[in-house]
């Protein structure tokens, strides 16, 4: 029975030692944001603004006057 306890104690000690070693190695490694990456490259994309959609609602950039302005002024300006 004491042989089983000795084996369990050795397994726990080995596990603790492995975890401590893993913690030391992971802290001593360079962070991923400092590792050099490849050069930047231009990526071709499709222009998503190909269709002009009508504006619906109140233009918040114009302030409170935009909600009170008549419809003809909103379209003109």
The residue ranges of every structural domain in the chain are 1-27
Which has more pLDDT, 34 or 4?
Answer: 4
The two three-digit tokens of residue 43, written as one number: 């990526």
Q: What is the pLDDT of residues 12-57, one digit of tens each?
A: 999 999 999 999 999 998 877 777 777 888 888 877 777 777 777 7
The pLDDT of residue 36 is: 74
Distance CA 53, CA 38 (A): 39
Across 58-72, average pLDDT: 60
pLDDT of residue 66: 47
What is the pLDDT at residue 65? 54
- Per the listing, tokens 């913690």 go with 23
Half-sphere exposure (CA, 13 Å, Cβ side) for 58? Answer: 10
Q: Where are the alpha helices (DSSP H) in the chain?
A: 2-28, 65-68, 71-76
């Amino acid at each position: 029975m004491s042989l089983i306890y000795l084996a369990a104690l050795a397994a726990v000690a080995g596990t603790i030692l492995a975890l401590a070693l893993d913690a030391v190695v992971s802290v001593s490694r360079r962070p991923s944001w400092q590792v050099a990456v490849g050069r930047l490259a231009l990526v071709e994309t499709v222009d998503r603004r190909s269709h002009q959609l009508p504006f619906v609602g109140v233009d918040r950039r114009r302030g409170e006057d935009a909600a009170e302005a008549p419809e003809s002024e909103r379209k003109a300006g």
